[in-house]
Structures are given as structure tokens and as C-alpha cells.
Structure 1
Amino acid sequence: MIYTVTFNPSLDYIVRLDSFKTGTINRLKYEKILCGGKGINVSIVLKNLGVSSIASGFTAGFTGEEIERQMKNEFNCSCDFIHLSAGNTRINVKIKADSETEVNGQGPNIPQQSIDALFAKLDKLQNGDYLVLAGSIPNTLPNNIYERILERLYHKNVNFVVDAEGKLLLNVLEYKPFLIKPNNHELGGMFGKTLTTPEALIEHARILQQRGARNILISRGGDGAILLTEKGDCMSCAAPTGTLINSVGAGDSMVAGFLAGYLSSADYKTAFRMGIAAGSASAFSENLAVMEEVDTLMKQITI
């Protein structure tokens, strides 16, 4: 079974307009409210690709209730969230105009008893399960929460998937995560560098492999992606052709596509192709990728 954890979920208020100007009234051309958060996005895309998962994390208040309603009723996803007694799950505003602007909320306080409740749920994972830890953590959680979870479950041979930045990611490498997915900017940031060429990205990704990461999927936006596998293979692929409509969730969709492809084939090349197709399908749509879109784009992809 695949489990996803989103520590800081959100309701995303997505708006589109021709141009956005500060200090005045702006009229929208499009608006939509969607449940958001990296782990939540992974669960939704997995379901769209025919793979079941259980989404967990923390929810609070009326916004948390709406997240769970959407997950269950609109996306048919299984949920096992921990409900906080105070506060509200955050609202993030995504403004799509001549450029993209985001205003992200803070999120509720997470008390120790709720952290303990999450640990109790994760302790039930079994050998061979997949655990996806994705995204930022609120400032009310200890900054080593990812590390504590992997250390706690390491002896169970759980396959960890970690999509996070900086120290959140670097500090878990010793627990040999099955997959990490930095983008090119995040990978460079871990080394205090700007990495502009495939050769530089591969060189620095291999350092992360030496520190414990089994497979490394590097997303490069419109330039495609690179995969380094635990078998020693290195693959690259250009992005398929399409018009960027909404970049939110594209990286999460790539993770979901990779997992769906690997679980159906046990083949990293197939997983890589499906990951690229799913990430691109979400980027080329107002919504997250669905199977028909992924199948169409996979025909364009050459590894």
C-alpha cells in the first residue's frame, strides 16, 4: 500500500485574470477551489492512474473538512487524516495572470498529542509499503520530523519517497529513501550552487546517491527530466510538447506517475516515462493529470 503524508495541506483558491495590478480592484476570468498540498496531489494523481493510496496528515476547521470532502467525494481517495481541535487548515491563493503570484496561509498549531497520533498510524506500515513525505512543514512541527519518521520506520523496510527541499531532504539520505525528487534549482541549492547543465546536475545527484538515495528523479521544467537509478543507469528525456497552463502540482504528478509506472512494471524506464507524462499532463491542464492525458503524452516521450 502507498501512504502519503501532507503536514501542511491547504485549500487552494486558484484565480485567473488577464493582468494583476496592486492597489486596485481586479476582475477574475476564472476561479476554482481545490484541496492542495504535495502529498494530497500525489494521492489524487495516483487514483487517477488507477493506483490506490491512503492520504494522511493534519486537517483543522471548516477548511480541513472541505479538503476531506473533496478527497472522498470528488476524487474517490481514501483518507486517514488527524483532526486538530483548534484552528483552520490554511488557504493558499494562486493568482494566474501575466505572471504567477502565490499568497500562502500559515496553517494551524499542531500539538504534541497529534504528532504522537501520526506516529501511531505510521507504526502500522509494513514491509514493502510505500510512504510519500512531501512538501514543507509548518513552524509548529519540529524541523527534524522527516528524519524522525524515517528513523522510526527504517527497520520495517518501508520504501520512502521524499519530495522536500534543503536539510529536510539531506538529513534523511542515510535512511536510503527509495526515491527523492529535487528539481534543478533545489538540487543546486543543496550545494550552494546554480546548476545549469545536465552534466552538473548528474554530478551532484551522484553525491546524493553516495549518501544513501536509491533513485533520484530531477525535474527540469520545460527542459525535461533526468533519472539516476540504484542500478547505476542514468536516463534523460526532453519534456513533451504542450502549453503550460498551471504548474501547481506538476512535480507531485511526476512522483505519482513514477510510482504508478514502477508498481505496474518493476521497470525504471517505464516509471520514468510515466512520471514525465503525468507531470506534463498536469502542467498542460487546469486540473491534475488523468490517465487519458498521460497515455497520450507517453507516445511523445523518448528516453
Structure 2
Amino acid sequence: MIYTCTITPSIDYTVYVPEFESGKLNRSDEVYYYPGGKGINVSRVLKRLGVSNRALGYAGGFTGHYIEEFLKNEGVDTDFIKTGEITRINVKIKSAQETELNGPGPNLNAAQLDALTEKVQHIAEGDWFVLAGSLPGSIAADYFLELAEICQANKVRFVLDTSGPALESLITAPVFLAKPNQQELGELFGVEITTVPEAFRYAKKLVERGTEHVVVSMGGSGALLVTKDQALIAKAPQGTVVNTVGSGDSLVSGFIASYATDQNAELAFRYGVASGSATAFRSDLCRREDVERLLDQVKIYPFEEKGVTT
């Protein structure tokens, strides 16, 4: 079983406005309500790729109920811990420029954190635990490190997709897959990463610290996979980018969906990049047929520090 975990989920209320004017009444005829949060996106895409999974995390109020019902209707199993608070709503205004207004995450007490710890303790050997999205600074980084150590002890594959201090703490733990983008990877080491060779050098440092698979998403430059034994670069398919929200989460989902079946990192990398691209070319998250249509367009090359070999 694959378990995803979203500490700070949301309802993403997205409105499309031809010409947004600050300080004035704006009307939109095109609006969408989707459950948000990186772990939730991973769950939704996994299900669309035909992979059963269970979404963990925290939810409360009428918005939390909406998220649970939405996921249930998509066939995603949920096991959220009740917060007693209304789950946040994030407003995303799509116009000539994109404007976002994100609400605060939940205030979690010790009992609620203990409840998540207990759920992780019951994840079985060979299963997956995906910790994705923003991790509140109000929760000590040691807490998430404890979750990672539980996964290691129980031989659970630990997947990490976050940033900031939590990422800095957690990459000291055994991680099966980490997926920073180039900016997040640079922030982790206090540098600015602008080239693929730079991304490789710092991704290699994560591998040397114990992360088995590091995938660095680099926008138009494609993506990079670094493991102990190989380094590969992927050139993404060409297409019209409609929406980048959820693209990185879809890459994680595609990698997991493929690896869980074939245990082949290169195939998983290809499937992940195709999944991320398929989402970027849609207004919503990708579907299986979108991904499979793009697979042959994903070009994978061996990477050497002096450049890319073909």
C-alpha cells in the first residue's frame, strides 16, 4: 500500500479573470474547487494511474469534509485526523499575472501528532510513505525525523517532497526518493543552481548522505535523476504549458507508480517525467492516457559531469 501524508491540506479555489484589477470588483465565469496539498495531489494522480493508495494528514470543518468527499468520489481512500479547525482555503487568481492568497495551516497539538505517529507505526514492510508539501515551522523538525526513522525500522520506503528547514533535517535520514526542484536544492546548500552540472553535483551530495534516488526538476531544462550507480537527464516533451500546479507532484506519482511495478529507476524516471509533463499540459492533474501518450516523447540520456552524452 502507498500512503501519502499532507500536513496542511487546502481547498484550492481557482478563478480565471481576463483582466484582474486590484481594489475593484472582478467577476469570473470560470472557477474550480479542488482539494489542494502536495500529498493529496500525489494520491489523486496515483489513483488516475491505476494505483490504490490512502491519503493521511489533517482535516477539519466543512472544508475538510469537502476534501474527504472529493477524494472518496475519485476512489482515493482517506484516513485523516480531525483537527477541530476549518481546513484552509487557498485562492488562486489566474489572469495576465497570477495572484495567490493562501490561508494558514492547522494548529496541531501533541495528541494529534501522536495520532499520526501511530498510523505510521502500523505501515507494513514494503509499503510506501510519501511526506509531501509544506511542513509547519510550529512542529519541531525532530518530529518528522522520527517518522522517517520509523519507516527505516519497519522497512517502509520513505518519499520526501518538501523544502526549507524540514528538508534540511530530513535528508539526514534514509530517504528512498527526494524530489527537490533546482531552487529548493540550491537553498538547501546555500547556493544558486542555474545549470544541470551544478544540479548534479548537489544532488550527488544528497545521495552520499543516504538518499537512494534524487530527482531534480529543472523546468525547461528537464529533470535529473541521480542514484549511487547512475545519473540520467530527461528532456521533457514539447507542448503548451497550461498549468504548472501539481506538475512536480505528478512526477513523484509517476515515479512511484512505475517503480512499485517494475523496480526499475530509469523506467520510473521516464514515467515520472511524462506524468509531470501531462499535468503541465492540462488545467487539472494528468490522467493515465495522457501520460502514456507522452512516454515515447521523453528522451533519457546518460549524464556526465562534463555534459550530456547521447
TM (norm. structure 2) is: 0.94
Q: Which amino acid aligns with 1:217?
A: V
2:155 maps to a residue whose letter is: N
For 2:81, give the aligned amino acid. Answer: I
Displacement of 1:193: 1.3
In 2, are the aligned partners of 1:106 and 1:138 still within 8 Å (CA)?
A: no
Q: Which runs of 5+ in 1 are unaligned?
A: none
2:275 paired with 1:278: yes
Mapping of residues 43-54 of structure 1, within 5 Å: 43-54=43-54
Letter in 1 for 2:45: V
Moved more, 186-195 or 165-174: 165-174
State how 1:249-268 maps to structure 2 within 5 Å. Answer: 249-268=246-265
Match of residue 215 from structure 2: 217
- For 1:65 and 1:71, the matched residues in 2 are separated by 10
**Superposition pairs of residues 235-250 of structure 1, within 5 angstroms:** 235-250=232-247
Cα–Cα, structure 1 residues 144 and 93, in superposed 2: closer, same or farther, change >3 Å? farther
Shift of residue 152, structure 1, vs aligned partner: 2.9
Instruction: Name the counterpart of 2:303.
Output: none
Flag structure 2 segments of 5+ consecutive residues without an equivalent. Answer: 301-310
Aligned to 2:169: 171
Deviations 1:34-81 (A, max 9, x none): 0010001001100000111110000010000000000001x1101111
Q: What stretches of structure 1 move > 6 A for 4+ residues in a row?
A: none
Indicate which of 279, 298, 308 corresponds to 1:301.
298
- Partner residue of 1:15? 15
- Secondary structure of 1:27's counterpart equals coil
- Post-superposition offset of 1:140: 4.3
What fraction of aligned residue pairs are identical, expressed as a percent? Answer: 44
- TM-score, reference length from structure 1: 0.96
Confirm or deny: 8 A CA contact 1:88 1:107 kept in the other structure.
no
Give the Cα–Cα distance (whole angstroms) in 2 for the partners of residues 295 and 222 of structure 1: 21
Whole-angstrom distance in 2 between the partners of 1:115 and 1:49: 31
In structure 1, give the amino acid aligned to 2:135.
I
Q: State the secondary structure of the residue aligned to 2:27.
A: coil
Over the residues paired in the alignment, what is the CA RMSD in angstroms?
1.2
- Kindly state the Cα deviation for residue 269 of structure 1 after the two structures are TM-superposed: 1.2
* Stretch deviating more after TM superposition (184-193 or 5-14): 184-193
8 Å CA contact retained: 1:15, 1:32 = yes
- Following superposition of structure 1 onto structure 2, how do residues 140-151 of structure 1 map, counting pairs within 5 Å? 140-151=138-149
Alpha-carbon separation, structure 1, partners of 2:237 and 2:291: 11
**Shift in Å, 1:139:** 4.6
2:130–2:160 Cα contact (<8 Å) kept: yes
- Aligned counterparts of 1:122 and 1:98: Cα–Cα separation in 2: 43
Q: Is the 8 A contact 2:141 2:169 kept in 1?
A: no
CA 1:139/1:176 → structure 2, altered by over 3 Å: closer, same or farther? closer
Quote the residue 2:64 is aligned against. 64
Q: Aligned AA for 1:208? A: L
SS at match of 1:82: strand
May I ask how many residue pairs the two structures share in their alignment? 300
Residues 186-225 of structure 1: pairs in structure 2 closer than 5 A:
186-225=184-223
